[in-house]
Structure 1
């Protein structure tokens, strides 16, 4: 990961050309939610980027220049992501940005990044169906992550029924649409697939988990494939435990 990070900075520096060479430092935007529903996930990414910047600077930086992080908090607010991205590019003059987690935040900043010819490294899995010369999509798409996972569940674990549980936005909906079609192509009946969506920050899981438990009580082995995001995961997994749903 350290090598990939250094290569990413070198790439951005080379693409930035003379602007980078004229500056005293290479400015690195860090665009992750430090508050709100996604902070539980994105704070770790912010910490990782800062750690890698510190370690790279101890080695002399990149192309003879130290890396200077510029951290902002878009606060799990999708329009604010775009506003913060614009500020990083026009006011802070960052050379590259590492940021976003959800696809909805990425899609919010994309028009700004393209308009101002910025460079964004997107760090997590995404649904595909998008390509931009201004974005490095470093995570897995469904054919690289979700489909191999259900293949394993079917072939190695003998799973016959599937619960596709996700947060209600583009990544879970697109991924689950792909998964549903794939499962049906593998012989899984439509009635053996349960799909459920909840909003960001959802906290009342009792009835939903009860439905999942009922769905899995037919005697056929059942798996939950979760694309739930953010702090909603905490009460979700607590409720699974409360209702005696186990991984075996």
Structure 2
């Protein structure tokens, strides 16, 4: 979506009825299977980065994408706290070890952009390391692209009210206790700091060849369906159903400064 394209409306997405959602998801997951067959047959590589605030729905989107894909050819990467060795190594080193081989799709639940978000806001890295990252990340990603890896960057965007609701629900749900972390407690308190860090990340790491795709994710079901639609619209897969590969432009759109100014991206 170019800067001249129609701006996404600042309204909530229409509610998806349960049966409609299940049917739409089923059809889109068939498209993903087609994509994987094409990926394996042609020795291609796909890397998908998912970023967003805590509780923005990254796990849910990733689960729906990978649910019916081959576990041998699909990997979800969610790295934990860096080890002492990691902190004394080239920043991208531990991520480089997780990159896809030919025929693989890798989905990163948070990625090297941790340095532009959580690490910056929480003071886990000095300003010099943050600046070094901001200057080197696009050249690093271009190396991947030039070597044959397709790279997609999605940012799941939610409102402050929605984040508060989800974090509270997470704390009260015994099946989601593994998601609770000390960082959760500071997420709302540092809302504005995260917004500032996010906006700088967008401004400095978005480019025509490596764009940030923003996903309005207050409606989880709409977000899941439209990420898959958008992904299918961007990949070359001869067998895909082009009618299904059309994302709602009010739900998924490329970053542009005016979207921050208009409130289409949560302030």
Fold match (TM-score > 0.5): no
TM-score, normalization: structure 2? 0.32
Structure with more of its chain in strand, by fraction: 1
TM-score w.r.t. the length of structure 1 is 0.34
